[in-house]
Amino acid sequence: MIYPVLEVIGLVNRFGAQLVHDGLSMDVREDEVFGIVGGSGTGKSVLLRSILGLQRPQAGIIRIAGREITQMTLGQLHAVKARYGVTFQQGALYSSLTVLQNVQLPMIEHVDMRPAARDELAMLKIRLAGLPADAAQKYPSQLSGGMIKRAALARALALDPKLLFLDEPTSGLDPISAAEFDELILYLQKQLRLTVVMITHDLDTIFRTCNRVGVIVDRHMEVDTIERIVDHPNRWIQAYFHGARARARSERHGA
């Protein structure tokens, strides 16, 4: 049986009296870009943390490449973690390491590699993420916001994962950099045949990159293709895709 790359079934997350997810389900297919959308406080980050195994849900099943992860021990999770790459919203680069060392860290952790090969492979990933070669020796504090995002992407790609999680990849970037980042994601997705799951608020990014979108409303998820989800009757979804900002966008683009 062929499993979806990522599958979430009936996820329940509760913090004290606050119910964040109540029976949330989604599935991500191979080679697609899946966007996760939702208002502030609807639990997008909690969902991502659950999928990454940083947080154990109260109930539900999460399968990555067919393997149930919610019941796994930490040791079993360790092996799963080598199979996906993650970028965090603020980059989460290790501030005391250079970009090159940041990219090498997953390699050191998971693969026994010659130092020379590791250097060159890390360099390859840095260039792949569109960073100039001299960025490799810089520390995160010396990088601009856009370069931090790219360095984080290079680190996420360190072990050539098939599955990539991006948390707000274009937040904090100017529109031009954001558009360039969209193109980079699309290029990598196509070239490396990646499956990309991204949390984003950027309507331009959603329309440019995503095949399907999952919207978190009322503690569960509405999943549909980007063409169909915009006509979903839910009020929040309508407001999201047809609100003032979305209108301004479509007027600008003449769509």
Nearest distance, CB of residue 63 and other proteins, angstroms: 20
Is residue 109 a contact point for other proteins (CB under 8 A)?
Answer: no
**Closer residue to other proteins (CB): 117 or 248:** 117
**Which residue of 107, 152, 213, 215 would you call a contact of other proteins, by CB under 8 A?**
107
Nearest distance, CB of residue 128 and other proteins, angstroms: 5
Non-local CB neighbours of 61 within 8 Å, separated by 6+ positions:
7, 8, 9, 10, 11, 68, 70
Nearest distance, CB of residue 161 and other proteins, angstroms: 8
12: β partners: 22, 59
Dig out the tokens for 100 from the structure.
């090159």
CA distance 209 to 186: 6
**Taking the CB of residue 177, how many other CB atoms lie within 10 A of it?**
17
Nearest distance, CB of residue 160 and other proteins, angstroms: 4
Nearest distance, CB of residue 87 and other proteins, angstroms: 17
Is residue 128 a contact point for other proteins (CB under 8 A)?
Answer: yes
**Which residue of 112, 244, 251, 255 would you call a contact of other proteins, by CB under 8 A?**
112
Residues from 222 through 251 that contact other proteins (CB under 8 A): none
Nearest distance, CB of residue 111 and other proteins, angstroms: 5
36: β partners: 199, 214
**What track of x and - describes contact with other proteins for positions 148 through 187 (by CB under 8 A)?**
---------xxxx---------------------------
Non-local CB neighbours of 12 within 8 Å, separated by 6+ positions:
19, 21, 22, 23, 24, 57, 58, 59, 60
Is residue 75 a contact point for other proteins (CB under 8 A)?
Answer: no
253: enclosing H helix or E strand: helix 244-253
CA distance 185 to 181: 6
φ, ψ (nearest 5 deg) of residue 172: 80, 5
Binding site for other proteins (CB under 8 A): 82, 94-96, 107, 110-114, 117, 120-121, 123-125, 127-128, 132-134, 136-137, 139-141, 157-160, 191-192
